[in-house]
């Protein structure tokens, strides 16, 4: 049995998709967002989106502060469907969402960039890789990288500027 269930209660409003007819690795409930105007989606076309938001006041002004959007990264065909997912958020003081992270069709992940050049490409003022329990005074300026714990380099490390060892 397949169902669409809408639960509306004072504290919880949920849209549920229920598939109780089968189980297994290829089964389960799901949702599809399909863009179909009888023309192939082309590079840059938005295929679908999910937004998250809420009421901003008692007049039911709705604002969307976060979203996940899928875009075609090439022309879709019966044998190829190149897409990327963009994760968007609005900063404090704004209702305008900006893309913060992209998962490209080739699997590369870009944080702070649309064009990741490697499996993980993080760009911004500073990058921190840490547990949160170490010193919070490192990697505070543009172009800095802070690694808490061991850093293993298998290959050649290139350093531009001063290098302090044991300091």
Lowest mean pLDDT among 78-82, 92-96, 120-124, 134-138: 134-138
How far is residue 132's CA from residue 146's CA, in Å, rounded to a whole number?
12
Least confident range from 31-35, 80-84, 89-93, 163-167: namely 163-167
Three-class SS state of 61: coil
Per-residue confidence (pLDDT) for residue 159, from 0 to 100: 75
How far is Cα 112 from Cα 68, in angstroms, rounded to an integer? 15
pTM score: 0.74
Contact 88, 108 (CB under 8 A): no
């Amino acid at each position: 049995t397949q169902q669409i269930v809408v639960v509306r209660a004072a504290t919880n409003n949920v849209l549920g998709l229920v598939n109780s007819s089968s189980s297994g690795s290829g089964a389960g409930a799901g949702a599809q967002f399909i863009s179909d105007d009888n023309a192939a989606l082309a590079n840059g076309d938005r295929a679908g989106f999910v937004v998250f938001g809420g009421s901003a006041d008692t007049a039911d002004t709705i604002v969307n502060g976060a979203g996940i959007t899928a875009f075609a990264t090439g022309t879709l065909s019966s044998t190829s469907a190149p897409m990327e997912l963009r994760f968007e958020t609005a900063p404090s003081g704004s209702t305008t969402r900006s893309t913060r992270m992209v998962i490209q069709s080739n699997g590369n992940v870009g944080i702070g960039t649309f064009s990741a050049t490697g499996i993980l490409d993080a760009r911004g003022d500073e990058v921190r890789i840490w547990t949160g329990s170490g010193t919070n005074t490192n990697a505070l300026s543009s172009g800095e990288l802070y690694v808490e714990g061991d850093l293993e380099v298998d290959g050649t490390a290139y350093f531009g500027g001063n290098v302090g060892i044991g300091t």
